[in-house]
Amino acid sequence: MINRSIAIDGPAGSGKSTIAKIIAKENNLMYINTGAMYRAVTYYAIKAGISYDEVSKLIDLIDNLEMHFEGDRLIVNGTDITDELTYPEISNNVSNYAAVKEVREKLVSFQQKMSQKYEVIMDGRDIGTVVLKDAKYKFFLTAKAEERAKRRCKELIEKGIEVDFNNILEEIEKRDYIDTHREINPLTKADDAMEIDTSSMTIDEVVKKISGLLN
């Protein structure tokens, strides 16, 4: 299965999940949003009062989470928590939980199992470099931080969440820093990934570019 799989990496707001969702539908692939999985762990950890440095408690917590995707929705222990995952409290804390080695090991192993069972399109930070090293197609999406912050603001406003552009930009830059500087599997472009700067491209243009490369 792994050979028809598509890996998409890139920083927050580069368009990964929007693009991956469309390509999944068009090509009948299972869409795995790995960022949502790290966010789900963060959501339940915060709810249970577990800090990111309480590793054994985190592992126990993850062992008790049954996660699966239904389209682009993430279902955890039978509840659809997708909408809660974009709350600022989660966005501001997720990078710290995602930097914990044991958390990554658990989630990477789960993601690899999914890719053995299904044909997948997976987006995240370490998909082309770690999770799906043998993926047939690898893309690395980028965009200027200001453009990414603009997109995030628009998304949140559409969900009825009040936003401040400068706060969002600051949060994105902080997250970029942690994601690219962490010790375990930092965000980097795989040598064999194609880089696409989406700053001045429409969603449709990016989808067309990627689709044109699949065969």
Binding residues for ATP: 10-18
3-state DSSP helix/strand/coil percent for the chain, to nearest 5?
Answer: 55, 15, 30
The verdict on 94 binding ligand DC (CB under 6 A) reads: yes
Measured from the CB atom, is 185 or 207 closer to ligand DC?
A: 185
Compute CA distances 98 → 39, 91, 211, whole Å: 8, 11, 30
Q: How far apart are the first and last CA of the chain?
A: 15
Residues 14-33 that bind ligand DC (CB under 6 A): none
* Rounded-to-integer distance, Cα 110 and Cα 173, Å: 28
- Count the residues of the shown chain that bind ligand DC, applying the rule CB under 6 A: 13
The interface region with ligand DC, picked from 90-98, 132-140, 155-163, 204-212 by CB under 6 A, is: 90-98
What residues contact 212, with CB distance under 8 A and at least 6 apart? none
Per-residue contact flags (x/-) with ligand DC for residues 176 to 205, judged by CB under 6 A: ---x--------------------------
In the list 125, 138, 148, 152, the residue contacting ligand DC (rule: CB under 6 A) is 125
* Rounded-to-integer distance, Cα 28 and Cα 26, Å: 6
Binding site for ligand DC (CB under 6 A): 12, 34-35, 38-39, 94-95, 98, 124-126, 175, 179
